[in-house]
Structure formats: C-alpha cells, structure tokens
Amino acid sequence: MPVSQQAQSMAPKTPQSAGESRTQPPRRPHRLMIGLYLGAFLGMLSETSMNIALPDLSDTFGITTGTAQWVVVGYMLAIGVVLPCVGFLLKWVKAKTLVLAALAFFLVGAVLSASAPTFALMLTGRILQGVGTGIVLPTMYASIMRVFPLHKIGAANGVAGLVIMFAPVIGPTLAGLLIGWSSWRAIFVLFAAVAIVAIAFTVAFFVTPIEVSRPKVDLISIGASVIGFGALVAGVSLVADLGFSASVIALLVVGIVTLAFYARRQLRIDNPVLDLKVLGIAEFRTPAIMVTCSFACTLAIMYLAPQQLQRGLGLDTSTAGMLMLAGGVVNAVCSFVTGRLHDRHGATHLVRIGAVVSIIGSLLFLAIGVTTSPMFFVFAHIVFMIGIPLLQQSAQSSALKSLPHALAADGSTVLNTMQQVVGAIGTAVATSLLYLGQSNYAAGGGTDAAQGFVNGSRYGYLFGLALIVVALVFSFFLKENRPSRKVAAA
C-alpha cells in the first residue's frame, strides 16, 4: 500500500474514532500544563522581543544589521534543527525529564547571553535558548492532544495560543522599556527569571502523558536531519550578507539534497525519527501549510515593523515598543476567542476571514512612509493581528484534530518543524529583501537613510503579503472532520 493511502487509512473518520484509544483525561489538565505553557511563552517571548533590540545590538558590537539578525535567525535555526528529533526523543525519554532539560538549556543560554562580552558568545547563548524552545513547543502540543478530550482541543489550543501570544503582546514593549531603562542585557535577565519559574511549576505539577516505547535509534537519520535543516536555514540566512556566493550555494545544495535523502529514509525505515506519514493525511497537510505560511508572514513582518519604527520613522526604542502593544493585546485576545469559535464552527470560514483581514493589514503596512503618523502604524498592526490568529489558530487546531492518536506526537513535531524552519527562512528572506530595497533606492540616487529603510521594508511586506495569499488559496482545499454540535457542546 502506498504511504499516502496507508496514512489516509490511519486517519480518524470521526472525532469519536480518533479518541477511542485515549486514556481518561486528568481532572485539572491546565494545572498539569502550566510549566509547559510558561516554557512556550518564554520561547515566543525570546523569539519576538529581540527584533526591537537589533539596532542596539548593532551599535554595541559594531556589526551590520545582517549580522545582528542572526540573533533571531540563529535562535530559530537551533529550533529547526532540534524540532525534527523531538517526536523521537519523546519515545525514549520521559516527557517531564525532557522538558526540565529544555528549560535548563534555556536558563543557561539566557545567563550566557546576558553576560556575554562578545557577539559570538551572545549568539551561543541564543542557540542554547533555541534548543530549549525547540523541545518545549512540540511537547506542549503533543501533551495537549493527550490530556484534553478531543472535542475540547480547539479550546485547549486557544488557551495555549493565549499564553503563547501574550509574549508578542508584551515582548516588544517590555524589551523597549528594558532597553530604555537599562540595556538589552536586561532582556536576558528577564528570560532567566521566567525560566526558573517554569522549572518550578514543571517539577511541581507536570506528569508524563506520553508513552515511552524506546524504538531503535537511526543515527543516520538524526545526522541527516541536523545537516539538512541546518545547512538550508544557514544558506538562506547568509544571502543577506554574502549574496549567492559559492559558499551560500553550496550550503543550499547540501541542505536540499540532504533533506530529500532524510525524507526518503523516514518513509522507508521501520522506526523513523520523524514519522512523515502524517503528511499523507490531506486533512493534516493542507492546514499545516496554511499555518506555516501565516507563521512565516508574521515573523517577517514583526521582524521589519519595529525596526522600521526606529530606522524609518525615527522613533526611540521605548516608543516603538509601546506602539506594538495594542496589536499584541488584540492578537492574544483573538487567539483565545478563535479556539472556542473553532470548536463551535470549524476552521473553514475562520481561516478565510482571517486570511482576508491579514491581507488588508499587510496592504496597510505597505502604505507606511517616513511621514506616516504612528497611529496609522498602530491601526495597521491591529488589523493584521486580528486576521493572523483567526487564520493560524483555526488551521492549527484543524491539523492536530485530524491525526490519529498514534501520530499525535509526530504530527505536532512536523507542524512545529515546518513553522520554525520556514519561519527562519522567511525572516532571512525578509532581511535580504530589505537590503535589496535599500540598494535599489541608493542606486536610483536616493540619499535619505530613513526613506531607504522604508523602501526596503516594503519589499519585505510584499513577501509577507504573498505568503498570506498562498494560505488563502489553500483554504479552498481545506477538508476537516467537523464535530457535531452535541459533541462540541459536551
């Protein structure tokens, strides 16, 4: 039987059939999950708060914007390298042990970054933080699939989304205030404090909801995963500084060829590191692509926007952070509400509405210029942040609910891997487009640095707009197993 047909035969036909093999959910599942919630919040806080600090990092270490963006891309690169192995690790190591190790990695990385005298050491700390986040994110979603009833997965994802998206709410604002009050090093001190709290809650409440089966370890697959994902993201990220040089092309070729080998091997061996059969399930594959596109768009725009406020509109770091707050609050609230709406109405209409609203927000970003009122930016940001959770949260819940119980951990890992790897590539592409726009402005005789940055940002915003259009197109191919009203209300 072909892999795609085999995977489809494993897919649940109804919500009830997908839940037949589930154990009785715990009575207080949110308390069990609080350590993971905090860990995921910390990961997103780290992922979204550093964008506003890039100009200060460039000035502190005397590096270019392209080099400084490795604080973001290097972090996401580490996540992308680790993520594909998490589903396999969860079959070998107790989830609680793995989560505590991940949070310890993050704590050590935050301390190292806070005290680093050089950019290289700070980047090392960021990579350690990325390793921690890469373990926590898929573990959280895999745990949700086991500790909540199937008909409440949307609401559970809504709570997780609220917790995670609270990080972008306060991340840029808090980072801007910390930089204004002290320096960018204070941001890492905050990370370390949150990591300690997350460790304490994990020790106190988390129990292992994932079975340990200890399958055979395929070292070739693990090596191919690290080389393939690492080379691909590194190659795309270096385009901004080196262009399509021989070394960059070599990295891209190695990454693509190695990942092709990796994927083929996962589909042929008995105990794959990452079970790619989930991609043979159309009900998972389509929303997973939509989530990936929307996530990459969000990271690209949130990479450009705070820098544009500083470099393009001439605002200080604290003011730029405060202007990001309103949109972040809207995003968090919409993430929570979307989960409940999904349980009642399904994903189809929500993702299409979200895509259209996100497209409108992207077009508003394109209209921002050096003389634009900051309030117009706030309006554009709010519109964009209304659309994104409607699209992303609904598609993610739809993807996860489509999986049979046996593939929940692998499906969560695949989904998170797609998001982080494509998100890292998207950020790198946005950086390259920013440079291209600045270069074209200068080549045309432009001398105003602020206008050049605005022009370059528009190139990146167009890229984000294209990603959302792709998500909208895929929404018309979305198929989902809709729960009955009786089940959804249970």
| Same domain, residue pair 187 and 329 | yes
For residue 230, the model assigns a pLDDT of 84
106 part of a folded domain = yes
Q: Which residues make Cβ contacts (< 8 Å) with residue 60, sequence separation at least 6?
A: 183, 184
Q: 10 Å Cβ neighbour count for 22?
A: 15
For residue 276, what are the CA distances in angstroms to 19, 188, 267, 272, 326? Answer: 21, 36, 7, 8, 39
Could you tell me where the DSSP H helices lie in 346-448?
348-366, 374-401, 408-443
Predicted local confidence at residue 150, as pLDDT? 64
**How far apart (Å, rounded) are the C-alpha atoms in residues 148 and 339?**
13
Domain contains 18 = no
Domain boundary residue, one of 270, 290, 312? 270
State which amino acid sits at residue 304: L
What predicted TM-score, i.e. pTM, was given to this entire model? Answer: 0.73
218-252 residues labelled b (16+ CB within 10 A) or e (exposed) = beebbebbbbbbbbbbbbbbbbbbeeeeeebeebb
The 10 Å Cβ neighbour count of residue 257 is 14
Cα separation, 218 vs 213, whole angstroms: 15
Instruction: Say how far apart CA 341 and CA 334 lie, in whole Å.
Output: 10
Structure tokens at 230: 């690492």
206 and 280 co-located in one domain: yes
- The DSSP-derived string for 150-166 is GGGHHHHHHHHHHHHHH
> How many Å apart are CA 255 and CA 261, to the nearest integer?
10
| Rg of the chain (C-alpha set) | 21
pLDDT of residue 212: 67
User: Does residue 62 sit in the same domain as residue 207?
Assistant: yes
φ/ψ (deg, to 5) at 19: -100, 5
Is the same domain home to 89 and 204? Answer: yes
Kindly state whether residues 171 and 251 are assigned to the same domain.
Answer: no
- CA–CA distance, 30 with 148 (Å, rounded to integer): 9
* Sign of the Cα pseudo-torsion (128, 431, 416, 397, in order): positive
For residue 24, the model assigns a pLDDT of 55
Tens-binned pLDDT, residue by residue, of the chain (490 aa): 433 333 333 333 333 333 334 455 556 766 778 888 888 888 888 877 787 787 788 888 888 776 777 787 788 778 878 877 777 787 788 888 888 999 999 999 999 999 988 888 999 999 999 999 888 887 887 777 777 766 666 667 667 766 776 776 677 778 878 888 888 888 899 999 999 999 999 888 887 766 767 777 788 888 898 898 888 878 887 776 777 888 889 999 999 999 999 989 988 888 787 778 888 888 888 999 999 999 899 888 888 888 888 888 888 877 887 888 888 788 878 877 887 777 677 778 889 999 999 999 999 999 998 888 989 999 999 999 999 988 988 888 888 788 777 777 678 778 877 887 788 788 878 888 988 888 898 888 888 888 999 999 999 999 999 999 999 999 998 876 554 433 333 3
Check residue 353 and give its pLDDT. Answer: 93
Is 314 found in the same domain as 208? yes
Same domain? For 257 and 195 the reply is: no
Inside any domain, residue 289: yes
Residues 388 and 326 both lie in one domain: yes
pLDDT of the residue at 19: 36
pLDDT of 25 reads: 56
**Token digits of residue 263:** 């994927």
The answer to whether residue 56 sits within a structural domain is: yes
Cβ atoms 134, 78 nearer than 8 A = yes
State whether 402 and 261 are in the same domain.
no
Q: Which DSSP string corresponds to 177-228?
A: HHHHHS-THHHHHHHHHHHHHHHHHHHHH----S----PPP-HHHHHHHHHH
Q: What is the pLDDT of residue 467?
A: 95
pLDDT at 168: 65
- Domain termination residue (choose one: 250, 270, 290): 270
Within-domain flag for 20? no
Residues contacting residue 345 through CB under 8 Å, at least 6 positions apart: none
Structural domain contains residue 2 = no
Residues 286 and 258 in one domain: no
DSSP per position, 68-86: HTHHHHHHHHHHHHHHHHH
Q: Is the distance from CB of 10 to CB of 277 less than 8 angstroms?
A: yes
Q: How far is Cα 269 from Cα 293, in angstroms, rounded to an integer?
A: 30
**Euclidean distance between CA atoms 289 and 398, whole angstroms:** 12
Residue 144 lies in a domain: yes
**354 and 236 both lie in a single domain:** no
Structural domain boundaries, residue 167? 29-215+271-489
Q: Give the CATH number for residue 198.
A: 1.20.1250.20
* Cα torsion 258, 265, 399, 350: sign: positive
Q: Which of 253, 270, 287 is the last residue of a domain?
A: 270
Provide the pLDDT for residue 90: 79
- Residue 235 falls inside a structural domain: yes
Based on the domain organization, do 120 and 194 belong to the same domain?
yes
Structural domains of the chain, count: 2
CA distance 316 to 458: 21
Asked whether the beta carbons of 347 and 394 are under 8 A apart, the reply is yes
